[in-house]
Amino acid sequence: MINATIDFVFSKWWLTFLFTFVFFLCLYFGGIFLMKSILIYLKRKNKVFEIVDFKSKGQEQTEIKNSISSILVFALQAIPLQWLYINKYFYFGQNGIINCLWEIPVLFLWNEIYFYLTHWLLHQPPFFMKVHYKHHASREPTLYSVYSFHWFEAFLLGAVIFIPVLIYPFHILSILSLPIMSILLNFLGHWNHERATTKKPNYIGRFTFRHTMHHKYSKGNFGFMLPYFDMLFNTSYPKK
Ligand SMILES: [Zn+2]
Ligand SMILES: [Zn+2]
């Protein structure tokens, strides 16, 4: 069943493109609906509180527009992936779903390393001024800002999947778990709310706070969820 679906989706470039486009649209809008519902519930119960408050007028509309263009870039990137697949440069593992138990954590870790490196690069002067400024136009992060990128940033972040599939035959479910895991963490990183806490900013669970501070100051905290790379390379911000 899974194999027949993969073969169908990868049989034509435009099918792969269409599938990826619809898949990411569903992740984005479906995820926003889900996260908004959870947020309304938690706020009503006084379980979470807003971290910063400087949303600009029309911000969410701009973020939606940027996000749809990023989704288009992700779908375009699926075309070379389809070419690599039909020309047998990679294949999906058939070792049983049980393998996903270690493949998913490996992909999570790879995503963290890849994000730290590319995000650090995007903060270097030429890239920040020409590319990453678009994501940072959202000084207050919102659920809509998760894919609010310049097309080059979308291309760079979307390319995360190429190295893993070319070096190891991951199970298709592990591969599909990467964008799902990534957008869920992204929603949590951008929803600008957290519980009342006395834990230090470098506490692993405070990644929402760290990324909100990243949007507020536009520096430091290049990591995605894990605080360890920022701690190791002394890029946590603010220091106190
Ligand atoms: Zn940034
Ligand atoms: Zn962000």
DSSP 129-153: IIIIHHHHT-SS--GGGGG---HHH
Joined together, the tokens standing for residue 213 give 């501070």
State how far the Cα of 73 lies from the Cα of 184, in Å rounded to an integer.
Answer: 20
Question: What phi, psi does 127 have (nearest 5°)?
Answer: -70, -35
By CB atoms closer than 10 A (0-12, 13-18, 19+), residue 75 is: buried
The pLDDT assigned to 55 comes to 87
Distance, CA 167 to ligand 2 centroid (Å)?
29
Distance, CA 75 to ligand 2 centroid (Å)?
21
The pLDDT assigned to 95 comes to 78
State how far the Cα of 50 lies from the Cα of 53, in Å rounded to an integer.
Answer: 7
State how far the Cα of 55 lies from the Cα of 39, in Å rounded to an integer.
Answer: 17
Distance, CA 237 to ligand 1 centroid (Å)?
12
Distance, CA 215 to ligand 2 centroid (Å)?
6
The pLDDT assigned to 130 comes to 97
User: What beta strand segments (E) does 39-130 contain?
Assistant: 49-50
Parallel, antiparallel or unpaired: strands 193-194 and 49-50? antiparallel
Distance, CA 189 to ligand 2 centroid (Å)?
7
Task: Provide the residue count of the chain.
Answer: 240
The pLDDT assigned to 240 comes to 65
Residue 193's nearest CA partner among 33, 40, 27, 30 is: 40
pTM reported for the whole predicted model: 0.94
Distance between start and end Cα atoms, the chain: 53
Distance, CA 164 to ligand 2 centroid (Å)?
24
> Omega into 238 within 30° of 0, i.e. cis?
yes
Residue 161 near residue 178, CB atoms below 8 Å: yes
Render each residue's pLDDT in the chain as its tens digit; 240 residues: 888 999 999 999 999 999 999 999 999 999 999 999 999 999 999 999 999 888 889 999 999 999 999 999 999 999 999 999 999 999 999 877 889 999 999 999 999 999 999 999 999 999 999 999 999 999 999 999 999 999 999 999 999 999 999 999 999 999 999 999 999 999 999 999 999 999 998 899 999 999 999 999 988 999 999 999 999 999 998 876
The pLDDT assigned to 97 comes to 83
Helix residue ranges, H only, the chain = 2-9, 13-44, 59-86, 100-122, 125-127, 133-136, 151-158, 162-167, 172-190, 207-217, 228-232
Joined together, the tokens standing for residue 63 give 């973020």
**Residue 128 DSSP class:** I
State how far the Cα of 83 lies from the Cα of 96, in Å rounded to an integer.
Answer: 25
Question: What phi, psi does 169 have (nearest 5°)?
Answer: -80, 85
The pLDDT assigned to 238 comes to 84
